[in-house]
Amino acid sequence: MELRTLRYFVAVAEELHFGRAAARLHMSQPPLSRAIQQLEADLGTPLFRRSSGGVSLTAAGSALLKEARALLEQTEQVRARVAAAAGTATLTVGILSDSQDPDISRLAAAYRRRHPNVDVRIREADLTDPTCGLRAGLVDVALTRGPFDETGLRVHGLRSDPVGAVLRADDPLAGRDELKLADLADRRWFQFPAGTDPHWQSYWNGGEPRQGPIVRAVQECLQSVLWNGTVGLAPLTTHNPGNELVTIPIQDLPPSPLVIAWTESTPLTRSFLQTAKSIYRP
């Protein structure tokens, strides 16, 4: 039984869909299906129930999933310890500067327990690059928000957070329980500089072309709201604007996905992903 085959199995077991698992593993579906069939033959028992309604785990599959996860995690820790002993264990993590998420401290503590000898370096990125320098090779992994152009990247969703409009406390709309994008159609919205990912710009402009001041960082956004009455947006779960500003939920804006993004799969990036998945809940 090869570790690679166990990784294939875990992907199918978590996705419960061979197509999605193949995409997650960056491979085509036929060799994935053959690998799972060979694993079932080696173990002498079916691991999945396959039907027109989808895929589900058998009792044997559920038992193997628990064992496979533990074995793969132990393998990653062994690899990381060997790398640390060789003096080569460094992980650079990009974090979007909009994050006030308390789960980050829990993630840091959990990862530190797993890899006490790894030198974790943090690069805080501004709002003009949602990949936090990933494409430029400045970071190994990014804890960030979507949507953005995922071409050439591996992305795993951790959670989706509702978003609200950040307004001045004396704004005529500040007393509302919720808003719709149409309520803000005639307002000025903050803009990102030219060259910013168009998926990212469009989302934070509510899917429509807008006019407004150019900003690069969270504090610039908030100051623009405070001084000019510009419409800002922020995740409701992580944002505390203070007394001068309020955040009103936007009913018809899709949630903002919190994601892990990376390019090269290494023991340390895989362990970071697994640790994050244990901390963050959808």
Q: Write the CA distances from 68 to 2, 8, 64, 65, integer angstroms.
A: 11, 10, 6, 5
Question: What's residue 282's pLDDT?
Answer: 59
**What gap in Å lies between CA 82 and CA 78, rounded to an integer?**
6
Q: What's the sign of the alpha-carbon dihedral 270, 109, 281, 239?
A: negative
What is the CATH topology of the domain spanning 90-160+257-262? D-Maltodextrin-Binding Protein; domain 2 (3.40.190)
pLDDT at 239: 56
Give the count of beta carbons closer than 10 Å to the beta carbon of residue 154.
18
Q: Which residues pair with 48 in a beta bridge?
A: 57
Strand-pair partners of 54: 51
pLDDT at 52: 81
Q: Apex CA 33: angle with CA 28 and CA 34, to 5°?
A: 105
* Average pLDDT, 10 consecutive residues per value, the chain (282 residues): 88 87 82 94 94 88 91 76 69 79 86 88 88 88 93 91 92 94 92 90 91 87 88 77 84 94 90 90 64
* Domain 163-254: assigned CATH number: 3.40.190.10
Joined tokens for residue 211: 């006019």
* 246 strand-pairing partners: 167
Q: Are 130 and 213 in contact (CB under 8 A)?
A: no
* pLDDT value for 118: 87
The CATH class that applies to domain 3-85 reads mainly alpha
Q: For the residues of 226-257, what is the DSSP string, one character each?
A: HHH--BEEEETTT----SSEEEEEBTTSPPEE
- Separation of alpha carbons 71 and 67, rounded Å: 6
| CA-to-CA separations, 272 to 92, 155, 165, 228, 260, in angstroms, rounded | 11, 13, 32, 40, 9
CB 15 within 8 A of CB 157: no
Question: Distance between CA 115 and CA 221 in Å, rounded?
Answer: 36
C-beta pairs of 57-60 under 8 Å, 24+ apart in sequence: 57/13, 57/16
CATH 1.10.10.10 residue window(s) in the chain: 3-85
Q: Which residues of 82-105 are buried (b: 16+ CB within 10 A; e: fewer)?
A: ebbeeeebebbbbbbebbebebbe
pLDDT at 137: 85
Count of beta carbons in the 10 Å neighbourhood of residue 115: 23
Cα separations (Å) of 228 from 158, 171, 215, 238?
A: 34, 11, 13, 23
User: What is the reported pLDDT for 99?
Assistant: 57
Give the pLDDT of residue 166: 92
CATH code 3.40.190.10 region(s) in the chain: 90-160+257-262, 163-254
pTM attached to this predicted model: 0.68
